[in-house]
């Protein structure tokens, strides 16, 4: 989105809100986000009136734990508004009007029992104990479509690429000629999350149907990440984007507060770099997105590599509404996270995107130096939970009778 177009709205909006001083403006990959801090009173009536005067209509509006999320659209621009009263924080993201997801549940016919799989990653255990942990999830709706999250690192023999293909092929409905991927979500573009996805599209892209790719990347070419190479993350992001575009996939830019449907799966976007702006990125993990799926009557919370500050923000603004049945432990269960968030989520099933060796031996997971949130979630006296690492493939079949677990 052109900066001139963005500023053409933000300057008069700032005046309409009566905000003292210019908002912090941060560029994203295809969008801009304005941060209004220390906002006094409720800015939403003035905000809504401003967009209405400028020819926008309301696409989406809902509240979560006292926070309000809205989307407005015109023929050229889409606006995402997040208002966090407890933090006196207003976020406004502007992007060119492009692909929009389905906001009402579509009618679909059930052809299979919905399931969620944490795929075992051979690449996660290479060069132990320092190999890339890896992260790969495959959800299948009752209508038979697949939703993918990340993918993991690339193992030397590319066995994980072939394993993902075999899983999709074996589980696609018989009436589908090709596996149908409704959306491929990327939490962030670290190699142990995106590299396998890139190689999969190179190898099997012509054998699948890929509707949409969903992410929120910062503009890696123009940002600095203090402790690592932003250009490397950017190269992975660009390659994934180019491969998806070549397959004709839609691009969905994720923004906090979005809710939409993929067949019978509902998606809630809970955290994106919109919320972190305008702070400088210490690590690539701070570019992570977090989202939650509701499928087969169960909720699955994906935290990617969200670091402590990101997790604390979610704990603060969402509170007990974070309660979920299934949790992907943040940053491979090693660090990041915070006790308050895990206590709010209080899951029954824990997916640890880390290999068996480190799951049982990493000092930050177990032992005297383990983080408080890891000690708490592994404490059976608090609650007996099911825990699964990525040295095996774990499939959760979601039925009216509960969750059937198969680990191989």
Distance separating alpha carbons of residues 210 and 191, to the nearest angstrom: 21
- CB contact at 8 A, 184 and 148: yes
- Mean pLDDT score, 232-247: 98
- Reported confidence tier of residue 130, pLDDT bands at 50, 70, 90: low
Instruction: Record the tokens describing residue 392, joined without a space.
Output: 């095996």
What pLDDT is stored for residue 156 in this prediction?
Answer: 82
| Residue 122: pLDDT over 90 | no
What is the rounded average pLDDT for all residues in the chain?
94
Residue among 352, 388, 403 at smallest CA distance from 373:
352
- Reported confidence tier of residue 125, pLDDT bands at 50, 70, 90: confident
| Residue 5: pLDDT over 70 | no
- Mean pLDDT score, 336-358: 96
- Reported confidence tier of residue 154, pLDDT bands at 50, 70, 90: confident
CATH number of 115-407: 3.60.15.10
- CB contact at 8 A, 129 and 357: yes
What pLDDT is stored for residue 223 in this prediction?
Answer: 93
Greatest Cα pair distance, the chain, in angstroms, is: 61
What pLDDT is stored for residue 162 in this prediction?
Answer: 96
What pLDDT is stored for residue 400 in this prediction?
Answer: 78
| Residue 131: pLDDT over 90 | no
What pLDDT is stored for residue 123 in this prediction?
Answer: 81
Distance separating alpha carbons of residues 379 and 228, to the nearest angstrom: 34
What pLDDT is stored for residue 2 in this prediction?
Answer: 55
What pLDDT is stored for residue 302 in this prediction?
Answer: 98
- Mean pLDDT score, 308-330: 98
- Mean pLDDT score, 343-356: 96
The residue ranges of every structural domain in the chain are 3-96, 115-407
Distance separating alpha carbons of residues 296 and 200, to the nearest angstrom: 27
What pLDDT is stored for residue 128 in this prediction?
Answer: 57
Does residue 357 have a cis peptide bond before it, meaning omega lies within 30 degrees of 0? no
- Reported confidence tier of residue 132, pLDDT bands at 50, 70, 90: confident
Range with the poorest average pLDDT among 70-84, 129-143, 214-228, 294-308: 129-143
- Mean pLDDT score, 120-145: 83
- Reported confidence tier of residue 11, pLDDT bands at 50, 70, 90: confident
Query: Which of 1.10.287, 1.10.357, 3.30.310, 1.10.8 is the CATH number of 3-96?
Result: 3.30.310
- Mean pLDDT score, 68-97: 96
Range with the poorest average pLDDT among 8-12, 130-134, 404-408: 130-134
Report which of residues 408 and 145 the model is more confident about: 145
User: Pairing between strand 265-271 and 259-262?
Assistant: antiparallel
Q: Is the Cα dihedral 282, 287, 292, 293 positive or negative?
A: negative
pLDDT > 70: percent of the chain: 97
What pLDDT is stored for residue 401 in this prediction?
Answer: 78
| Residue 143: pLDDT over 80 | yes
Residue among 352, 323, 356 at smallest CA distance from 336:
352
- Mean pLDDT score, 272-280: 96
What pLDDT is stored for residue 126 in this prediction?
Answer: 63
pLDDT in tens, 17-42: 999 888 999 999 999 999 999 999 99
- DSSP string covering 232-298: HHHHHHHHHHHHHHHTT-EEEE--TT-EEEETTEEEEEEE-HHHHTTSPBSSGGGG--EEEEEETTE
Range with the poorest average pLDDT among 292-296, 318-322, 334-338, 348-352: 334-338
């Amino acid at each position: 989105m052109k900066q001139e177009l963005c500023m053409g709205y933000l300057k008069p909006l700032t005046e309409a809100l009566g905000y003292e001083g210019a908002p912090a403006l941060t560029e994203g990959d295809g969008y801009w986000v304005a941060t209004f801090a220390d906002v006094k009173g409720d800015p939403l009536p003035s905000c809504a009136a401003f967009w209405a005067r400028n020819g926008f209509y309301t696409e989406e509006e809902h509240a979560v734990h006292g926070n309000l999320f809205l989307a407005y659209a015109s023929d050229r621009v889409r606006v995402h508004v997040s208002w966090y009263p407890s933090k006196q924080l207003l976020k406004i993201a502007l992007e060119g009007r492009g692909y929009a997801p389905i906001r009402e549940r579509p009618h679909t016919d059930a052809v299979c029992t919905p399931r969620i799989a944490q795929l075992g990653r051979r690449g996660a255990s290479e060069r132990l104990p320092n190999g890339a942990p890896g992260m790969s999830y495959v959800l299948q709706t009752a209508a038979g479509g697949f939703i993918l999250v990340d993918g993991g690192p690339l193992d030397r023999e590319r066995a994980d690429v072939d394993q993902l293909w075999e899983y999709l092929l074996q589980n696609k409905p018989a009436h589908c000629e090709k596996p149908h991927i409704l959306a491929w979500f990327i939490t962030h573009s670290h190699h142990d999350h995106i590299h396998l996805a890139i190689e999969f599209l190179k190898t099997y892209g012509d054998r699948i149907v890929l509707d949409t790719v969903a992410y929120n990347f910062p503009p890696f070419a123009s940002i600095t990440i203090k402790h690592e190479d932003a250009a490397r993350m950017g190269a992975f992001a660009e390659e994934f984007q180019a491969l998806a575009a070549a397959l004709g996939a839609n691009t969905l830019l994720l923004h906090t507060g979005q809710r939409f449907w993929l067949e019978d799966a509902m998606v809630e976007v809970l955290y994106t770099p919109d919320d972190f702006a305008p702070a400088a990125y210490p690590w690539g993990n701070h570019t992570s997105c977090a989202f939650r799926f509701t499928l087969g009557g169960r909720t699955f919370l994906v935290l990617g590599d969200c670091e402590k500050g990101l997790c604390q923000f979610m704990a603060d603004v969402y509170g007990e509404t974070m309660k979920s049945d299934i949790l992907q432990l943040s940053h491979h269960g090693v660090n990041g996270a915070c006790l308050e968030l895990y206590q709010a989520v209080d899951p029954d099933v824990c997916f640890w995107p880390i290999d068996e060796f480190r799951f049982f031996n990493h000092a930050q997971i177990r032992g005297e130096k383990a983080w408080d949130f890891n000690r708490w979630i592994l404490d059976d006296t608090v609650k007996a939970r099911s825990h699964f690492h990525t040295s095996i493939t774990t499939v959760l079949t979601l039925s009216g009778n509960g969750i059937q677990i198969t680990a191989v």
